Amino acid sequence: MDFPSILVYLIPILAVWTGFAFVWFIKPENTGNIKLLLAFSGAFLLSLTFFELLPEVYEGNDPKTIALFILGGILLQIFLEFFSKGAEHGHMHIHLKENKFPTLLFLSLSIHALVEGVPIHGNNSILYGIVIHKIPIAIILSIFFVNSKMKLGSILLFVAAFSLMTPLGSYLSTSPLIANYGQFLTALAIGVFFHISTIILFESSQGHAFNLRKLLVIILGVGIAYLV
């Protein structure tokens, strides 16, 4: 199914707000199912990266150069996590000060979201992966913010601005200045996806225990990605 261009930009925004609305109105207390959804999203996104992005990005390009950008994406994500403390994969280890906007958290998450928006343009399968990744992350972020001392206005500003970053990345990737480097930026995004997805798969279980439910969810994620 090919989405109209406007929906390619709107769907990631709606995914973030869906996660926030779920937390605001439902106020979930048991995060076990959210962690299973997170595991599914990690397996789904990682599989789509292998099935869709890797074959495409290597086609007609120097393998070593592409590999260098993929490794650069992994290193970029590691660097960003010094400031986000793992928020991109569901970990929140930041202590917020009352009424103070978390600038470093916002900047690190925004760069991550911009990069992951690059390969979405013209690839609806990756759009599915990003959306399924964003919903549980938005839920976990929203739980964190709702339980924090931040004012509602600051929370809404953060969510609104963050929701725009992935569509902005998709839009910028089509600009004449950047479009010529699209394959290299996609390789960078692949590195980010590799790091995020593998961390999610290893850390989404309580106490790092690998259980049957998580295994089945991961297999389901891989299977659906293969069929998309």
Tokens of 226: 């293969």
Q: State the pLDDT confidence band at 12, using cuts at 50, 70 and 90.
A: very high
Summarize pLDDT for 210-223 with one digit per residue, the tens: 578 888 999 999 99
Q: State the pLDDT confidence band at 204, using cuts at 50, 70 and 90.
A: low
Mean pLDDT across the chain, nearest whole number? 85
Which H/E stretch holds residue 185? helix 182-203
Q: What are phi and psi of 103, to 5 degrees?
A: -60, -45
pLDDT of residue 163: 94
Residue type, 187: A
Q: Which of 183, 145, 167 is nearest to 57 (CA)?
A: 183
Indicate yes or no: pTM above 0.85.
yes
Cα–Cα distance for residue pair 161/23, rounded to 1 Å:
18
Domain containing residue 21: 5-227
Lowest-confidence pick of 56-60, 118-122, 125-129, 132-136? 118-122
Summarize pLDDT for 51-106 with one digit per residue, the tens: 999 998 998 889 999 999 999 999 999 999 888 777 776 666 666 665 667 788 88
Overall number of domains in the chain:
1
Q: What are phi and psi of 143, to 5 degrees?
A: -60, -45
**Would you say residue 208 has pLDDT above 60?**
no
